[in-house]
Amino acid sequence: MSEPVHGAAIRLRNLSKHYGEARALSDVSLDLPAGEFVTLLGPSGSGKTTTLNMIAGFLQPDTGHVLLDGEPIERVPPHKRNIGMVFQNYALFPHLTVANNVAFPLKRRRTGKAEIAERVARSLDLVGLGDFGARYPRELSGGQQQRVALARALVFEPRVLLMDEPLGALDRRLRASLQLEFKRIHRELGITFVYVTHDQDEALVMSDRIAVFNNGRVEQVGTATELYEHPKSLFVAEFLGDSNVLPGVVEDTAVGRLLRGDGYELKLPTASPALQAGSCGVVTVRPERVLVHSAATKASISGNVLRGRVVQLIYLGGLRRLELRLDAGFSMIAQEQSGNQSPVSVGDAVLATWDPEHSAVLATDDAPAKAGVAIGTA
Ligand code: ADP
Ligand code: MG
């Protein structure tokens, strides 16, 4: 805030953790570049909090290392790591005023009185609570209390801010506005933010980079676009956003490589992973990539084409969703921009089409399950 503070780079190397017999984290390695907004995203129990607590120093890994700007910090106690932390439940001191809550980390560091006053004021201004210093936590809304917790976590000018589901207790509208605030504050401070959430929308809105956790492992790391457009596993495809999922077996034919499913055969994108002919795979297509035409259309249609009927039209303000029942016996979802809608109604026979390049193909271990729609988490 006064001097420009630079974010620290965090490297996690082969972190593992067991609780008794239960494995909470298996060999997690992750690079969090200095100054980025990185989100750890995954379902409940996937190991996000365990990872965050290892960065904070509240928890020691069984094996592996946490490096801050290249230095191993296992032996550095939490309060000497220069890392701020915000929890879901705010964890404010109820008997202290807002100003004294925010001053707390500075008093523990034996900062001088005048400097404390100045820094507390600046920190409260940063989170939009400049006039609230004399209040008590109980006199504030949930969103305001979380802002106080944020001011307290930032007041000693940490080089890293950790946040563990900080918006989990707030309603949707408030969450959306605080997400934008967090982004603004991140831009203003330029320090490294590590943010934990199970909410895909939240991750997509805020992050420079997202690490998707599943069952104690990191499934994939990338920008929101990379994860959304090029998921490397079915778990990632299904966890982020909605997908149409079409399983089958890979075949090499005279016209190229196909995925043969129960009642359909699909052309694959050129950038397909190295799938052997005969192996199991899944094609995933996002709803907004599926185009719907009347079955009577005279337009020439290329790419993948599946026949079906419209069973439901759902208006979502600027968007329209079409639920289709395909002749092959499963459902698909298409999504159109309002104002750019295909002229079809419920009950119409239609063609669902997409450019194979707008789909992803993923290897799966098991025999193909049934085709259908996977709706994302949020
Ligand atoms: P997340 O934050 O993604 O929900 P956690 O890191 O809290 O996941 O937990 C990962 C796994 O470790 C879960 O299966 C959880 O039940 C287990 N776990 C976490 N903390 C403890 C603990 N103190 N004792 C026993 N098991 C725990
Ligand atoms: Mg957690």
Interval 177-191: pLDDT, tens: 999 999 999 999 999
Question: Which one-letter amino acid corresponds to residue 137?
Answer: P
pLDDT digits (tens, 9 = 90+) for 9-46: 999 999 999 999 999 999 999 999 999 999 999 999 99
Q: Is residue 234 part of a domain?
A: no
DSSP three-state, residue 135: coil
Strand partners, 267: 258
> Do 18 and 74 share a structural domain?
yes
48 lines ligand 1 (CB under 6 A): yes
44 lines ligand 1 (CB under 6 A): yes
- How many domains is the chain partitioned into structurally? 2
> Do 351 and 210 share a structural domain?
no
Look up the CATH number of the domain holding residue 156: 3.40.50.300
Last residue of a domain, one of 201, 229, 257: 229
What residues make up the domain containing 41?
A: 10-229
> Do 353 and 217 share a structural domain?
no
> Do 184 and 40 share a structural domain?
yes
22 lines ligand 1 (CB under 6 A): yes
* Residues near 169 by beta carbon (within 8 Å), at least 6 away in sequence: 88, 89, 142
Q: Residue 48 Cα, ligand 2 centroid: separation in angstroms?
A: 6
The protein residue whose alpha carbon is closest to atom 21 in ligand 1 is 19
**330 or 377, greater pLDDT:** 330
pLDDT digits (tens, 9 = 90+) for 343-364: 899 999 999 999 999 999 998 8
40 lines ligand 1 (CB under 6 A): no
28 lines ligand 1 (CB under 6 A): no
Q: Percent of the chain scored above 90 by pLDDT?
A: 77
> Do 366 and 301 share a structural domain?
yes
Look up the CATH number of the domain holding residue 370: 2.40.50.100
**Residue 374: band (very low, low, confident or very high) from pLDDT cuts 50, 70, 90:** confident
Q: Which ligand is closest in space to the CA of residue 51?
A: 1
**Residue 368: band (very low, low, confident or very high) from pLDDT cuts 50, 70, 90:** low
DSSP three-state, residue 215: coil
Q: Which atom of ligand 1 has the smallest separation from the CA of 43?
A: 3
Probe residue for ligand 1, chosen from 12, 50, 58, 200 as the CB with the greatest number of ligand atoms within 8 Å: 50
Q: Is residue 3 part of a domain?
A: no
Contact between 246 and 329 (Cβ < 8 Å) = no
Sheet holding 319-326, edge to edge: 291-294, 349-354, 304-316, 319-326, 331-337
The protein residue whose alpha carbon is closest to atom 14 in ligand 1 is 45
Q: Is residue 206 part of a domain?
A: yes
45 lines ligand 1 (CB under 6 A): yes
- Token readout for 166 is 């900080």
pLDDT digits (tens, 9 = 90+) for 304-342: 999 999 999 999 888 999 999 999 999 999 999 988 788
DSSP three-state, residue 87: coil
Question: Which one-letter amino acid corresponds to residue 56?
Answer: A
Q: Is residue 73 part of a domain?
A: yes
Question: Residue written as tokens 């939009």?
Answer: 128
> Do 319 and 175 share a structural domain?
no
d(CA 43, CA 200): 10
> Do 197 and 94 share a structural domain?
yes
58 lines ligand 1 (CB under 6 A): no
